[in-house]
Amino acid sequence: MDKQDIFGQIDGIEERMGTTYAELGALKKRIITLIEENKRLSIENQQLRKLIRQEETVVEEPTRDAEEPVQLPGAGYDNLTRLYNEGFHICNVYYGHLRTEGDCLFCLSFLNK
């Protein structure tokens, strides 16, 4: 083998590694999207189950008023805190996205208001 063949092989390997790296990056983004969607669907599923249980309770107890439950002040704050603790951003920059790198300063400053 001469030097040109060796350098040709190295160039080929570099090119394949670059392609593989790009594919790996795309796969990582897709996995993050799927994890976020899975978490969102899990939360939605829990909320729907909670609503079903509430409706079943109302049907079993017909003497109760059919009015909607009144949310206490601060319930929205509690919901945002719960979402943040479950791993989602609540800041206006990344709202609804999964937190993958620990705490978010924007979210924490929002919670501390």
Q: Is 104 annotated as a binding residue?
A: yes
Q: Is 13 annotated as a binding residue?
A: no
Query: In which residue are the tokens 């949310």 written?
Result: 71
DSSP assignment of 15-50, as one string? HHHHHHHHHHHHHHHHHHHHHHHHHHHHHHHHHHHH
Q: Is 89 annotated as a binding residue?
A: yes
**Which residues 6+ apart lie within 8 Å of 47 measured at CB?**
none
Annotated binding-site residues for Zn(2+) read: 89, 91, 104, 107
Annotated binding-site residues read: 89, 91, 104, 107
